[in-house]
Copies of this chain bind each other. A is one copy, B any other.
């Protein structure tokens, strides 16, 4: 070892981007982890600085800021988005607040990352997409957080479709299965109230599989026939669960969103598609299954085995033909080179790091990140068509092609 002074200071930081994050629960933590890990593992040209965490409950927000090294806490999101040291606003709040915050942030000249679904209605989503388009003219970037696109196996599936492995897409089958509402005594949280959440399983998890299948195929849904259902129509209000039996009547409230949504549809290339989004698939915790069958090959993915993609190449028939279980942990696979050796799998949270890294790269390179607010609007139109169809006896409901696209 050298006889030189052994202590050195760290290398100087690169050009940086101040992040302001609004929301400190599940999604807020996942995004915090994403920004931090993007910096450590992807070494981006633009280094994210964790400037400010926004949250109405100062205590909770301060606690999280301490644990994740956010430099400041703001209890008013308007204060956060106008801070000079905040360059990007990351919105992790419930869907009913997305439009207001995102539009204000874009107008304040801040880049925006907005959690999915983009909004609670097509109207809001249109307004957001327009705001994004205006901001874009000034070099302000926006992106909606369909994180599962950035699971390496999913990104690799997209790559294989682009390379022609699947050929003409004939079948898409997609399910997002959870079961956390099977218990009828599970309380009536904001996620079960239409005015806050917009919809139930449809927007919360169905949005993901709509996005995943459109992303992987590179096509869009052109119409749907749908059924939705609310299996448990009344639930205890939070806090009232342990109330006296006499209070039960008053202590309960109406569930105003869907518990499950199923639909069939047709993709722009002619493929037949089946979709299912539910919180009542007893025994399934977070099972996201997508299978694509095409004229030349097939792909199959299940988030319960998230580091694996099953690939079938029908152009090489013969006795050794079948689905190959590809462990998507090689450095030749999307995002993987930044992480661990082959076979050392990633987890749920890594998609947030990939999202942060991709967004930082797009901003640094002056490109539009993807999925855009226009893409988010496209998803919103699908969700709206599902609700329209379900409300009209599963009638076929066409979905307009996007008028904005970038």
The interface of chain A, by Cβ under 8 A from chain B, is 1-2, 4, 6-11, 13, 26, 29-30, 32-33, 36-37, 39-41, 43, 56, 58, 62-63, 65-68, 70-76, 79-80, 156, 160, 170-171, 173, 175, 177-180, 182, 223, 225-227, 229, 231, 260, 262-264, 266, 270, 272-276, 278, 280-287, 293-298, 303-307, 310-314, 318-327, 329-330, 332-333, 339-350, 393-396
Contacts and interface: CB of A to CB of B under 8 A. Distances in A.
Nearest to A77: B1
Contacts of A226: 264
B11 A40 contact: no
A75 B293 contact: no
Given A8-B75, A67-B43, A79-B7, A274 B274 contact: yes
Contacts of A327: 285, 304, 322
A295 B282 contact: yes
A326 B333 contact: no
Contact of A347 (B171, B324, B345): B345
Nearest to A159: B319
A380 to B, nearest CB: 21
Given A10-B72, A67-B43, A272 B227 contact: yes
Given A62-B8, A340-B349, A347-B346, A171 B276 contact: yes
Contacts of A6: 74-76, 79-80
Contacts of A297: 282-283
A41 B68 CA distance: 9
Contacts of A345: 304, 306, 347-348
A274 B318 CA distance: 32
Given A283-B312, A314-B182, A40 B68 contact: yes
Given A7-B73, A79-B6, A282-B297, A343 B173 contact: no
Contacts of A287: 343
25 contacts: A6-B76, A10-B62, A10-B65, A36-B36, A40-B67, A160-B320, A170-B229, A171-B280, A173-B276, A179-B314, A223-B394, A227-B266, A231-B270, A274-B276, A282-B312, A283-B321, A283-B323, A285-B343, A305-B305, A306-B345, A323-B324, A323-B325, A345-B347, A347-B350, A393-B396
A65 B11 contact: yes
A297 B274 CA distance: 23
A401 to B, nearest CB: 19
Contacts of A179: 293, 314
B325 A320 contact: no
Nearest to A280: B170
Contact of A344 (B74, B286, B319): B286
Given A10-B70, A10-B73, 10 more contacts: A6-B76, A7-B79, A10-B66, A32-B40, A280-B293, A283-B314, A286-B343, A324-B324, A324-B325, A394-B395
Contact of A314 (B79, B263, B282): B282
B348 A340 contact: yes
A4 B295 contact: no
A147 to B, nearest CB: 11
A285 B342 contact: yes
A54 B7 CA distance: 9
A283 B304 contact: no
Contacts of A43: 67
